[in-house]
Structure 1
Amino acid sequence: MSDRVQALMSIKAALKDPHGVLAKWDSDAADPCSWTMVTCSPDYLVVGLGTPSQTLSGILSPSIGNLTNLQTVQVLNRKFICRGTSSQSLSGK
């Protein structure tokens, strides 16, 4: 499993997804660029995450810091909690 897939799966595991928005996020996938909520650069680097609906809630995993090319995170509701997300953990250090 690639580092970016592992980071995304950690993010998925920490979220409550009652409507299966993240159902196509698959740990066996080599490339997460076709997944819901994931935006990639032309070089297939994860550069954005965005919530398509207000059905997700939970903790935003510190693993988000391992997505070192991430530029934007769009959250459309206030049902997320950030824990352990110091500037160092958000930068993947």
Structure 2
Amino acid sequence: MSGRDLFVFVALTVISSMMAPKARGNSEGDALYALRRSLSDPDNILQSWDANLVNPCTWFHITCNQDNHVTRVDLGNSNLSGHLVPELGKLEHLQYLELYKNNIQGSIPVELGNLKSLISLDLYNNNISGTIPPALGKLKYLVFLRLNDNQLTGPIPSALASISSLKVVDVSNNNLCGTIPTTGPFEHIPLNNFENNPRLEGPELLGLASYDTNCS
């Protein structure tokens, strides 16, 4: 290898190593910017969410860890409307997704089940419809699941009973059907966290399967 070729090789290696963390940051920034595009923001809460910035850690309402991975999205009570996007599932280090008290519509993306670090999912007081994705049962670190005061239908997925860390579940004031799980963390969830779902039939009876496939 000639001296010139060696210089070019070293230069390309250095440039590649410098670009690597930016590409990682861009992936998270792209996911969040997809959310911004899907939302109406009359109060300009998301004004700092600039797609030209490589790292979203400089945006308001975003918290990152020391490795510049997004760990919190805090957009509760922000007068936002629109819908959630599947790209949110790419935020694999996200621990808190706070979108409560807005006017978000549409369904809960199945891809939120990919948020393997998630501790808190707060979507309460919106106009979210559709079913609760069973894929949320993959969130093994989830502690808080608050989906109350929406327009959700269908059953409470039995997969949620496998999340041993789950402490708070509130699905009150929806239109859910079927039965309420009683195993795992659901042993300690108060029944008033399920109230005002006219088609819920009460707790599961021991030895009987839930109504996961018998209501819609």
TM-score (norm 2): 0.39
| Higher-Rg member (1/2) | 2
1:71 aligns with 2:68: no
Q: Partners of 1:57 and 1:74 in 2: how far apart?
A: 14
- Structure 1 counterpart of 2:54, from 20, 30, 41: 30
Asked which structure has the greater RCO (Cα within 8 Å, sep 6+), the reply is 1
Structure 2: gaps of 5 or more residues: 1-22, 116-216
Q: Partners of 1:60 and 1:31 in 2: how far apart?
A: 21
In structure 1, the partner of 2:85 is: 61
Deviation at 1:46, TM superposition (A): 0.3
Q: Tell me the alpha carbon deviations over residues 33-91 of structure 1, each in whole angstroms, 9 at most, x when there is no partner.
A: 121111101111001101154311210111110111111111230422353611xx121
In structure 1, the partner of 2:32 is: 8
Instruction: Quote the RMSD (CA, aligned, Å).
Output: 1.8
Structure 1: gaps of 5 or more residues: none
**Matched ranges for 1:43-54 at <5 A:** 43-51=67-75, 53-54=77-78
**Matched ranges for 1:81-92 at <5 A:** 81-83=105-107, 85-86=109-110, 89-90=111-112, 91=114
4+ residue segments displaced more than 6 Å: none
Q: Partners of 1:35 and 1:63 in 2: how far apart?
A: 18
Higher helix fraction (1 or 2): 2
- Residue 34 of structure 2 aligns to which amino acid in structure 1? S
> Are 1:33 and 1:40, in contact at CA under 8 Å, matched by a contact in 2?
yes
Give percent identity, aligned residues only: 28
**How many residue pairs were aligned?**
90
TM-score (norm 1): 0.84
> Are 1:48 and 1:70, in contact at CA under 8 Å, matched by a contact in 2?
yes
